[in-house]
Amino acid sequence: MNIDRLEASMREINEFGGTPEGGITRLAYTAEHWAATRYFMKQCEEQGMSVRIDACGNVIARRPGLVSNLPAVACGSHLDTVQQGGRFDGTLGVMAGLELVRGLNERGIATRHPIEVISFACEESARFGVSTVGSKAMAGKLNRASLERLHDKEGISFEEALSAVGLDVNRIESSRRSGKELKAFFELHIEQGPVLEESGIDVGIVAGIAAPARLEITIQGRASHSGTTPMTMRKDALIGAAEIILELERAALAESSSGTVATAGVCDVRPGAMNVVPDQVMLQVDVRGTKKSSRQAVIERIYGVMSRLELERGLRSEVRVLSDEEPVLLDNRTADLLAEQCERLGVSHVRMMSGAGHDAMNMAALCPTGMIFVPSKGGLSHHKDEYSATSQIARGAFLLEAAVLKCAEAVSDESKDAIITLNRGHQHESGKAKGIV
Ligand SMILES: [Zn+2]
């Protein structure tokens, strides 16, 4: 694998959807996303891969194996971004897969199993409000009916967006694959959080992916004049909301050993005037964790506050569950394989949970799945300043290569030498990097 070439090809593909502000905007199925997708397909074809695009817009590029009919070892991620997103989220995993194949071709390395590089469509929820659509379709987890009511901000339906790029929503179920086709799936991705950078560890091996429970809580009070209503006679819905928000923090802190986190990110106050006691507040709450029982414990405490609000403040509240997805634990043996390869390559590693959703969580339903995180500067993501250094990307990419080659049963493997050279080069760098040999 040639890391300079990987970075160069990331720069090239990031010209699609690049904005003057410095971010990347490639919303799913837009012209920018599609141009990047076509570019990726062309690059794969130039490497002699057979390339197909399924009904959901997932690209599957395949390098044949030596033995016919063996299941493929796949890797990949996504090329769509949020509005003004970063240069690494998703793009890294797709382009690293392509570079992996380029490297194998260049060195004439063959594998017994085929290798697939997958670019999943519509991973980000930025356009239609649903995430990981492509991998859900591939894993047979997509509810066709749920797509019918989806529209973007311009009022374009999901179906129209698909047909604008030549895809047919009526065929979307044909994207489903059988687990028998795949031996394993690996996703290389930036962490999008601060843990690796702060601990100075090279890579994270993802043990599980947290799923959000999302609630919309409406608190009903009574509007009255802010000047003439005595404090004891008020039914202030915003004070009720404040109690819920504070309890949310306390409850999540009590569950912090399980890694559960909770956020009230939306608070809509009505009527929203300085001289009126608020009569209605709508909160949207996101509770995430890899342990469903821990997540549930947080939610139970919120229900507890809601009944207290009714008794003590006369505030009625209602909950609408927006989503309640199952957390996904990734395959232990695949994580062990990644850890073994880290040891072999001299890459420091830690097992960690992912707080954000990824295509890997859907692929885990199809085949043993492993996920590699590399550090994100300042934990920043979905942002134009999203950044991972070349040496950090290199460690993740060489680990991806080593794991894929091990799994696909390569006839020889040179990634270890590449890492040794890399480590030698970085012993002169910062204090943090000195520990890595
Ligand atoms: Zn991503």
* Distance in Å, CA 371 to ligand 1 centroid: 12
What DSSP character marks residue 256? G
The predicted structure's pLDDT at residue 330:
96
**Distance from Cα 42 to the centre of ligand 1, integer Å:** 22
Among candidate residues 68, 191, 200, 59, the one with its CA nearest the CA of residue 134: 59
Evaluate if residue 422 carries a pLDDT over 80. no
> What is the 313 CA–ligand 1 centroid distance (Å)?
43
pLDDT band of residue 68 (cuts 50, 70, 90) is confident
Query: What is the SS3 string spanning 336-384?
Result: HHHHHHHHHHCCCEEEEEECCCCHHHHHCCCCCEEEEEECCHHHCCCCC
How far is the C-alpha of 86 from the C-alpha of 127, rounded, in Å?
Answer: 16
Q: Rounded to the nearest whole angstrom, what is the distance from the C-alpha of residue 72 to the centroid of ligand 1?
A: 23
User: Where are the chain's structural domains?
Assistant: 3-209+327-421, 211-324
Which one, of 259, 215, 261, lies nearest residue 241 by Cα?
215
Ligand 1 centre and the CA of 156: distance in Å?
A: 23
In CATH, what number does 211-324 get?
Answer: 3.30.70.360
Q: What is the pLDDT of residue 415?
A: 59
In this predicted model, what pLDDT tens digit does every residue of 174-233 receive, in sequence order?
999 999 999 999 999 999 999 999 999 999 999 999 888 999 999 999 999 999 999 999
Q: Specify the long-range contacts of residues 230-239, CB closer than 8 Å, at least 24 apart.
A: 234/277, 235/277, 235/279, 235/313, 235/314, 235/315, 236/277, 236/278, 236/313, 237/269, 237/270, 237/278, 237/279, 237/280, 237/281, 237/315, 238/269, 238/278, 238/281, 239/313
**What's the mean pLDDT in 52-77?**
96
CA distances from 363 to 101, 142, 328, 338 (A): 21, 12, 10, 17
Model pLDDT for residues 296-318, shown as the tens digit of each residue: 999 999 999 998 999 899 999 99
State the chain's mean pLDDT as an integer. 93
CA of 268 to the centre of ligand 1 (A): 29
Taking the centre of ligand 1 as the mean of its atom positions, its distance from the CA of residue 89, in whole angstroms, is 5
For ligand 1, the distance from its centroid to the CA atom of residue 134, given in whole angstroms, is 13
The C-alpha angle 388, 73, 360, rounded to 5 degrees, equals 50
Q: Beta-carbon neighbour count of residue 234 at 10 Å?
A: 17
Say if residues 189 and 252 touch (Cβ distance below 8 Å).
Answer: no
Report the CATH fold assignment for 3-209+327-421: Aminopeptidase (3.40.630)
Domains 3-209+327-421 and 211-324 share a fold: no
